Amino acid sequence: MLRRSLLTLTLVLVGLQSPAQAADSSTPEPEATKAPEGVLGRTYVMLGGGYGLEQFSSDIGGLTTSNAWGLQLRSGGRVFDALAFEGHFEMMRGFDVSPTGTTRSLETYAMFANVKLFPMSWFLPDFRLLEPYAVVGVGGMLADTQAFQDLTPSTFTTTRGGFASRFGGGLESSFGDQIFVAAEAAYVLPVGRVDGFDYVSLTAAVGYRF
């Protein structure tokens, strides 16, 4: 009698546990939080260097003896798959102009608000290995000019400012979701008091997406 009672109790307990186990197995386990993928809606920073090819106006006078090296810093984000906005600081140092009897050393500091268009995103939205883009920017420029008189110790420094624009194209390549590199060529066109200090900006940079 006792053995029969124990057997009945065991069967009842087994029957109660089976539905509970089935309910547990049907409940999906929470997934681990994933890092954001892609570029849409993410901000980025870029740091790089550049080389300035002078295209100075003949109105400035003199013979340009050297081009310039530079530094750039950018920050922005993709608002659409094919469209990005960014702020851009660029410094160029080392332009030299040598009219008769005088040597001029020129440094430029420019700030731009850029718009980038990535046309390949319309056709291959998930392909980030090589992305060509077009860029247009508007902003301002400061130009510091130091003039050295030949055969005298005299030095004159002049600072002038004006508006500037830039337009060109580049190529961006992503390595994963965060690291990317970019190369760009753009024509910088200043106006106003810095009119004539045109140059072609050749830049390369590395970027990080947050």
Within-domain flag for 92:
yes
With tokens 């080392």, the residue in question is: 94
Within-domain flag for 153:
yes
Within-domain flag for 34:
no
The whole-angstrom separation of Cα 54 and Cα 188 is: 10
The whole-angstrom separation of Cα 8 and Cα 104 is: 105
Within-domain flag for 61:
yes
pLDDT tens, position by position, 77-127? 999 989 999 999 999 998 887 765 566 788 999 999 999 999 998 988 878
**Count of other CB atoms within 10 angstroms of residue 57:** 11
H-helix or E-strand spanning residue 159: strand 155-175
Based on the structure, what is the number of domains in the chain? Answer: 1
Q: Which residue would you say has higher pLDDT here, 124 or 29?
A: 124
pLDDT tens, position by position, 139-173? 999 999 887 665 555 566 788 999 999 999 999 99
Total-model pTM: 0.77
Q: Domain limits at 69?
A: 42-209
pLDDT tens, position by position, 1-25? 545 554 555 554 455 554 445 444 4
CATH of the domain at 111: 2.40.160.20
With tokens 């990317």, the residue in question is: 180
Within-domain flag for 152:
yes
Within-domain flag for 7:
no
Within-domain flag for 63:
yes
